[in-house]
Amino acid sequence: MDDTLPPDARPGRPSAQARYIAIAAVVGLMCGTIGSVFHLAIETAVRWPSYLQQVASGPWLVVIASLITMVLTVLAAFVVRRIVPEAAGSGVQEIEGAMEGLRTVRWARVLPVKFFAGIMAIGSGLVLGREGPTIHIGASLAAMVSSTVRMADPERRGLLAAGAAAGLACAFNAPIASVLFVIEETHRQFPYTFRTYMGVIAAAILSVIMTEIIGGTGADMPLLSPQMPLFLLPAFVVLGCVLGGIGVGLNASILRALGFAARLQDRVPYLYPAVVGLAVGALFVILPDAVTGGEDVVTRLVSERPAAMLLILLAVLRFATMVGSYSSGVPGGIFAPILALAVCVGLALGAAVETAFPDVGSVATAFAIAAMGGLFTSSVRAPIVGVVLTLELTGSYTLALPLLSTCLAANLTAQWLGGKPIYEQLLERTLEQAGVRHRPATAAHNTGLA
């Protein structure tokens, strides 16, 4: 054998490559199945206010709804803190830390807690997305599988990334964006070899296959818009600049809220999640569009086109409830809430453009779609993922140019304002709390699997 060749280029390796890719495909199948059940359970659980309205009304309806969300939020936070604290939040930063060998994926604890506590928290009406837990679940399944088979260190880390990609693919039925997420978001940690890269693709494909078998095919948030005239591109750039500032503010608010919640937890345990639960539960009855993950809210707002003042109010409320929900210590992601918040901003600006240029017709939907990618980009700082994820979610491929312009402006604005990627900041906070010194990822790091 010629040792001067890279490992993946040496002869006699096809069987090993096929074995690894097959393992990644199995992880994708498992993630697509479990993730789809997780999503269906949340969709069923989140309907509880409609059943409550059949037995209560008026002030009692608001009081009971507040108490229900409060109890579920506190219970989910209690379970997470007592069993596996790293299951709080989305888990993306935990996966990135594990790929650097700085964190441990305790899959035997993460899987049940992320699944059941995630259903409680997201189903209660908190402004959290299902994609974060699904990504963590997918990576935990990868850690479980890799613990049962012999595998080199880079392959173990690559399988973690494959599981994470499978989770995102399952959450949004977006296989291309999930592969790009690994490339763009985990570029420092991912061990690039032929087999690990193909493993990510295989896991994403099989995850989406299972997702579509269980949950159906089609775009997750179908929103079609006609192609925009070129003279409106500057308006999309303005939208991106606005979203860049909002994204930086959102990240900073989440970090501050997490710090405040931690300090309050030391003084009055579980008061913070209780207050968040009470507020969200009341809004769930009074103004439902201000809470929940936001998948249904996005399509409803675009179809109903509320007045600009209501959209601004919803944007403010969703900003506050998202920050409060994420910092409450329960499982849940930020992708879907970011998209819903962005739609409020995009529709409001789109309505202003329609007023200024009445001859262009209805363009608010296009601005809402472009805003989804722009706010995602300014917070996560992954512009290509933001573009592709938005296109796959909505099916509006005619908006590629406005979407690219929005994401470019949002990313540049966030950079100029000194903003950092949200998951990088969350990982730094986690490592600081654990007393671990952050260092650049290398292939020689430990896998962080358990």
Tell me the domain boundaries of the chain.
Answer: 15-215, 230-425
* Cα-Cα end-to-end distance for the chain: 34
Q: Position 423: which residue type? A: Y
DSSP state of 2: -
**How do residues 52-100 score in pLDDT, each as one tens digit?**
999 999 999 999 999 999 999 999 999 999 999 999 999 999 999 999 9
Residue 5 has pLDDT above 70, yes or no: no
- CATH number, domain 230-425: 1.10.3080.10
**How do residues 39-65 score in pLDDT, each as one tens digit?**
999 999 999 999 999 999 999 999 999
- In whole angstroms, give the CA distance from residue 199 to residue 180: 13
Phi, psi of 179, rounded to the nearest 5 degrees: -65, -45
Q: Do domains 15-215 and 230-425 have the same CATH topology?
A: yes
- In whole angstroms, give the CA distance from residue 167 to residue 30: 10
- Asked if residues 308 and 344 have their Cβ atoms less than 8 Å apart, the reply is no
CA distance readout (Å), 310 to 236, 304, 364, 414: 22, 12, 15, 26
Tell me the average pLDDT across 410-438: 92
Q: How confident is the model at residue 12 (pLDDT cuts 50, 70, 90)?
A: very low
Q: What is the rounded radius of gyration, in angstroms, for the C-alpha atoms of the chain? A: 21
Q: How confident is the model at residue 13 (pLDDT cuts 50, 70, 90)?
A: low
Q: How confident is the model at residue 274 (pLDDT cuts 50, 70, 90)?
A: very high
**Which stretches within 186-232 are classed as H helix?**
194-215
Q: How confident is the model at residue 9 (pLDDT cuts 50, 70, 90)?
A: very low
**Looking at the DSSP assignment, which residues form a beta bridge with residue 449?**
105
| List of residues 6+ apart from 432 with CB closer than 8 A | none
Tell me the average pLDDT across 262-290: 97
- Asked if residues 285 and 61 have their Cβ atoms less than 8 Å apart, the reply is yes
**How do residues 188-209 score in pLDDT, each as one tens digit?**
889 989 999 999 999 999 999 9
Q: In terms of Cα–Cα distance, which of 422, 333, 334, 438 is closest to 103?
A: 438
Query: Residue 189 has what pLDDT?
Result: 87
Tell me the average pLDDT across 420-441: 83
How far from chain centre, in Å, is Cα 312? 23
Query: Residue 438 has what pLDDT?
Result: 60
pTM of the model: 0.92
- In whole angstroms, give the CA distance from residue 91 to residue 422: 12
Q: What share of the chain is helix, strand, coil (3-state, %, to 5)?
A: 75, 0, 25
Task: Return the half-sphere exposure (C-beta side, CA atoms, 13 A cut-off) of residue 361.
Answer: 7
Q: How confident is the model at residue 439 (pLDDT cuts 50, 70, 90)?
A: low
Residue 441 has pLDDT above 60, yes or no: no
Opening angle at CA 48, ends 47 and 53, nearest 5: 110
Residue 315 has pLDDT above 80, yes or no: yes
For the chain, the average pLDDT equals 91
Tell me the average pLDDT across 224-237: 91
Fold exhibited by the domain 15-215: Clc chloride channel (1.10.3080)
